[in-house]
Amino acid sequence: MAILVTPETKVLVQGITGSFGGRHAQLSLEYGSQIVAGVTPGKGGQTFEDKVPVFDTVAQAVAETGTTTSAVFVPPPFAADAILEGVDAGLDLVVCITEGIPVNDMVKVKRALEGSKTRLIGPNCPGIVTPGEGEQSSGGCRIGIAPGYIHKKGNIGVVSRSGTLTYEAVWQLTCRGVGQSTCVGIGGDPVNGTSHLDVIKMFNDDPDTHGIIMIGEIGGSAEEEAAAWIRDNCKKPVAGFIAGTTAPPGRRMGHAGAIVSGGKGTAEAKIEAFREAGIQVAQTPSEMADVLLKVM
Amino acid sequence: MNIHEYQAKELLARNGVNVPSGKACKSIEEAQTAAQALFDAGQSMLVIKSQIHAGGRGKGTFKSGFQGGVHLCKSVDETVETAKAMLGEVLVTKQTGPEGREVKTLLVASAEKIVKELYLAVLLDRNTSKPIVMASTEGGMDIEEVAEKSPEKIVKETIDPAMGMMPYQARKIAAALNLPSSLIGQATKLLMGVYKTFWSCDASMVEINPLCIVENVDETQGIAAVDAKISLDDNALYRHKDILEMRDLAEEAPLEIEAGKFDLNYIKLDGNIACLVNGAGLAMATMDIIKHYGGDPANFLDVGGGASREQVTAAFKIILSDPNVKGILVNIFGGIMQCDVIAEGVVSAAKETNLSIPLVVRLEGNNVEIGKKILNESGLELISGDSMADAAKKIVAVV
């Protein structure tokens, strides 16, 4: 089953005619994902790579193609608007890849999402991959910028704030012959659509997910909240890693949300919360897969 | 981005917040003129404040031996003498580190007669994804200390971003701070102005510490932002050209400014093992694993998803300009960009920068074998690492 997306999910790419969006739309097509539409205002009627119709609005794309899910590759000043356009068009899922969106824009988006049926993943995230059954996991659903070939279809769920750390965990699993149900990058911004906990709950309910790797980093308290829920509710083994033990307080470590401020959001506190919840903690990122496999 | 106190007060004043009258001065002459104007306007006491992006100024010490980065002055002559002792001198506070910061600007302002000190801040509450106003009767103190010792003294009010701050919320806060009824109107105006500053400037935090009840010349009471600190959301600066002009490059680390020009995210640390990584999470984890195996990371450096040859070259140059660096660990997950392309980039960057310190390279991902072959046949004395752990152990061993 996997979570959020399946190989059948019909995906729309907002910003498909831009260099970034176009490149990754192409890679998703090569992976075998159902990229059924693109949206770029003013370029409606064009065709991307001779097969994907481009529309001026998300509503048109939904009406014409039945797409339910969007990947947003729109530049930061216009990204909040693009997300809300997807919400307005009634999409089930919007995955925003864009990095560098003003925080206040996301505060407004998050407020607008209250009571809507749309789930937002990201922003500033690598996206979602549900691996397929083909060679190097092709035929799956790849939304975003993750390299498709590192995946393998299987039963481990991966959730992380960081792109390359997700790839690291996925690759470790794949190299050990262990596949993934779905891999979700929730993004490194302080305000995001979906939390660790949201994804953990979905993995817990997904019969095809048998174990979970949860990767966190300094800043905020989302990892602690997820850990508290896992302690009381999660039926599946969870391994975790927290990045940023050596990060100096008060400095933003690349990700807008990765900052220890006022003594809050430290790696130590998060690791402690993981331990208390019975989550197996990887001492180094090299051990993420092994730590999970030991308890599977 | 951070700005100086006088700039923060300028933004606050634009939004209707009462701040003590004053002027930013970059020379002794300007300080003299500003002091004269304030005394002429009827002030009996001035305050002269060093403008640096660090706290603890009042208790700081100048490298010249002169005590205190903030002083009260009773006359123009005293102002001029004090300004001479501060301007162009290096001030060391508990937040600057031992190297201190050069004081290039002084804020000369009227010294308020303070009746009571309060605390006020607006920031993002990550739990609710909404702005939150925090206020406390314990002004002038470190708010984290207050939060720890007497959390009941902190008042919090969440703001609905769809509505903005409502006047009733400001009145609620004013009442919770036990302000006298006569000040509720003024306090509401000030609180609304502080929130407006936070939202309209895309600030990540506005902190007024202390916010003061002051006694006016006619013995009536007022409320004023006596100190102010504003940090801004870098992602939103593109829509605030006026605020961007307030950036003071002298307050930022030169290597970090240089890195920014190449879209590199670099933060200097105190260790001797430099790292060059793609992705922020992996970059943090690389620092952690160096420490885990007994080493000391010299920096955080995220070259972004691609790790192009140009970026790796620029990154090497930045890393090597830190004299503490005794070895480099390159850790790249070749996802979309394949390992052979990255290996070629690393080799050419190492050659171009005449690298002479130990270099451990760990590549993972597609075409990793071809990548390793390129590294091994490069003629460079580099060490190849198989996993992150292996690479970290190797660099720690040779440094």
Give pLDDT, residue A132. Answer: 97
Give pLDDT, residue B334. Answer: 78
Separation CA B265–CA B43 (nearest Å): 47
Closest alpha carbon to A223 in A196, A204, A243: A196
Is A130 part of any domain? no
CATH code of the domain covering residue A116: 3.40.50.720
Is A98 part of any domain? yes
Verify that A181 and A99 share a domain, yes or no. Answer: no
DSSP 8-state class, residue B299: E
Verify that A287 and A196 share a domain, yes or no. Answer: yes
| A-proximal residues of B, 276-295, CB under 8 Å | 277-285, 287-292
Query: For chain A, what is the largest distance between any 2 Cα atoms, rounded to a whole number of angstroms?
Result: 56
Question: Given an 8 Å threshold on Cβ–Cβ distance, is A241 in contact with B300?
Answer: no
Written as six digits, the tokens of A87 are 């919400």
Verify that A237 and A158 share a domain, yes or no. Answer: yes
CATH code of the domain covering residue A222: 3.40.50.261
Verify that A58 and A185 share a domain, yes or no. Answer: no
| Strand ranges across the sheet with B46-50 | B22-25, B106-110, B46-50, B70-73
Is A45 part of any domain? yes
Give pLDDT, residue B306. Answer: 66
User: pLDDT below 50 — which residues of chain A?
Assistant: none
pLDDT tens, residue by residue, A221-233: 999 999 999 999 9
Verify that A277 and A233 share a domain, yes or no. Answer: yes
Question: Given an 8 Å threshold on Cβ–Cβ distance, is A165 in contact with B278?
Answer: no
| A-proximal residues of B, 17-76, CB under 8 Å | none
Separation CA B64–CA B186 (nearest Å): 42
Of A103, A164, A285, the CB nearest to B233: A103
Backbone angles phi, psi at B115, to 5 degrees: -90, -45
Is A144 part of any domain? no
Question: Given an 8 Å threshold on Cβ–Cβ distance, is A111 in contact with B289?
Answer: no
- Does residue A253 sit in helix, strand or coil? coil
Within 8 A of A188 by CB-CB distance, chain B residues are 280-281
Give pLDDT, residue A72. Answer: 98
The CA-atom distances, in angstroms, between A194 and each of A110, A123, A125 are: 10, 9, 11
Which stretch of DSSP H or E encloses residue B108?
A: strand B106-110
Whether B158 and chain A come into contact, CB under 8 Å, resolves to no
Domain boundary among the residues A121, A139, A171 is at A121
Domain of residue A43 covers 10-121
Question: Is B218 buried (19+), middle (13-18) or exposed (0-12) by CB count in 10 A?
Answer: exposed
* Domain tally, chain A: 2
Give pLDDT, residue A4. Answer: 96
pLDDT along chain B (399 residues), means of 10: 97 97 96 96 94 93 96 96 96 91 96 94 95 92 81 93 96 96 96 98 96 91 96 96 95 90 91 94 96 96 79 89 94 82 86 90 86 88 90 95
For an interface test with B, the pick among A104, A223, A224 (most B C-beta atoms closer than 10 Å) comes out as A104
Verify that A98 and A179 share a domain, yes or no. Answer: no
Whether A197 and chain B come into contact, CB under 8 Å, resolves to no
DSSP 8-state class, residue A247: P
Verify that A111 and A156 share a domain, yes or no. Answer: no
Verify that A161 and A254 share a domain, yes or no. Answer: yes
Is A227 part of any domain? yes
Which stretch of DSSP H or E encloses residue A171?
A: helix A163-175
Residue-by-residue DSSP string for B30-82? HHHHHHHHHHHTT-S-EEEEE--S-S--TT-EETTS-B-SEEEESSHHHHHHH
* CB B226, CB B211: distance < 8 Å: yes
Give pLDDT, residue B305. Answer: 67
Kindly calculate the radius of gyration of chain A based on its CA atoms and give it in whole angstroms.
18
Question: Is B270 buried (19+), middle (13-18) or exposed (0-12) by CB count in 10 A?
Answer: exposed
Verify that A176 and A112 share a domain, yes or no. Answer: no
Within 8 A of A215 by CB-CB distance, chain B residues are 281
The CA-atom distances, in angstroms, between B388 and each of A68, A169, B254, B255, B306 are: 39, 12, 30, 26, 19
ipTM of the complex: 0.93
pLDDT tens, residue by residue, B252-300: 988 999 998 888 999 999 999 999 999 999 999 999 999 999 999 999 9
Is A41 part of any domain? yes
Give pLDDT, residue B244. Answer: 96
Whether A27 and chain B come into contact, CB under 8 Å, resolves to yes
Verify that A83 and A167 share a domain, yes or no. Answer: no
Give pLDDT, residue B132. Answer: 97
Whether A76 and chain B come into contact, CB under 8 Å, resolves to yes
Q: Which residues contact B208 (CB under 8 A, 6 or more apart)?
A: B12, B119, B120, B121, B194, B225, B226, B227, B228
Is A117 part of any domain? yes
Verify that A187 and A231 share a domain, yes or no. Answer: yes
Instruction: Compare all CA atoms of chain A with the CA of B238 and give the residue at the minimum distance.
Output: A77
Domain boundary among the residues A121, A144, A168 is at A121
Whether A245 and chain B come into contact, CB under 8 Å, resolves to yes
Tell me the catalytic residues of B. Answer: 119, 207
Whether A145 and chain B come into contact, CB under 8 Å, resolves to yes
Domain boundary among the residues A104, A121, A138 is at A121
Within 8 A of B282 by CB-CB distance, chain A residues are 162, 164-165, 168, 243, 285
Query: For chain B, what is the largest distance between any 2 Cα atoms, rounded to a whole number of angstroms?
Result: 83
Is A103 part of any domain? yes
Verify that A74 and A199 share a domain, yes or no. Answer: no
Within 8 A of B335 by CB-CB distance, chain A residues are 146-147, 150, 164, 167
